[in-house]
Structure 1
Amino acid sequence: VVPLDALPLTPSGKLDRRALPAPDFTAASGHAPPRTAREKVLCGLFGEVLGLEQVGVHDDFFELGGDSIVSVRLADRARRAGLALTPRDVFTLRTPEGLAAALPDGPGPAEAEFTATAAPLVTLSAAQLDNVKARWRSR
């Protein structure tokens, strides 16, 4: 909710939607700090996909401005960070704390910091790479 003194109107007296202020979703954030590596990664991912600088572990994804499309982006980035997360999990659990607690035990994020770079799927030796290049050129 964004309080306004008056609604902006067009010259014809209709609501001027373009003149409405953008909602401030950061006001909904409690900024409770993460306690585990998984919570830290999830808080970072929430902030990344929602365009927020800071997210606390108790912050609700949808109250911060998330929607179904953004939940898919969050799940994709979480998987790239080594966390088995689905959009359905985001709808059900909603907070970094809830998601981190529900994730299966296992390797999880190797580092407390999230990095956006993905590891290669396959590592090739120089000879293998030359072989692939040669086959590609011969087509």
Structure 2
Amino acid sequence: MKFLGTLQNTDGKNVDVDDHQHTKSEITDMPNKLSDFENDIGAGSGTVISASTGTITTTWTGSAVPYTQTISNSNVTELLTCIINVSLAPTATIIETDAWDALNLKDGGQTDGAFTLKCFGELNTIAIPIVMTVVKQ
């Protein structure tokens, strides 16, 4: 059991903390809204930077697996640690969905203004509509 003004050590014994003090600025200068906390979801990590649509074209680089395709997105930077979610657009047809499923895509890295997809499956013969979401990590 914990009591006001006490803490417990790792053995579960109460430790007096009455001499524990903070300066006035440590208390009064605390952020007062969620967006002021750098690493909270909604301000830092987990913040969606952008969501946009695009296309996986039929143009791939390479003569063997893994093939690569680089897709432009101005919200992607090499220095910004982010997660890039690429998903099939909800407007995709059955044929586009089958082509998406056959690609077997993997992360190919990112640079300023673009990210690369690696294809370990069958190359698409039609353009595939996608949704790209860039999330700060």
TM-score (norm 1): 0.28
Q: Would you tell me which structure has more strand in proportion to its own residues? A: 2
Larger radius of gyration: 2
Task: Select the structure with the greater relative contact order (CA < 8 A; seq sep ≥ 6).
Answer: 2
TM-score (norm 2): 0.29
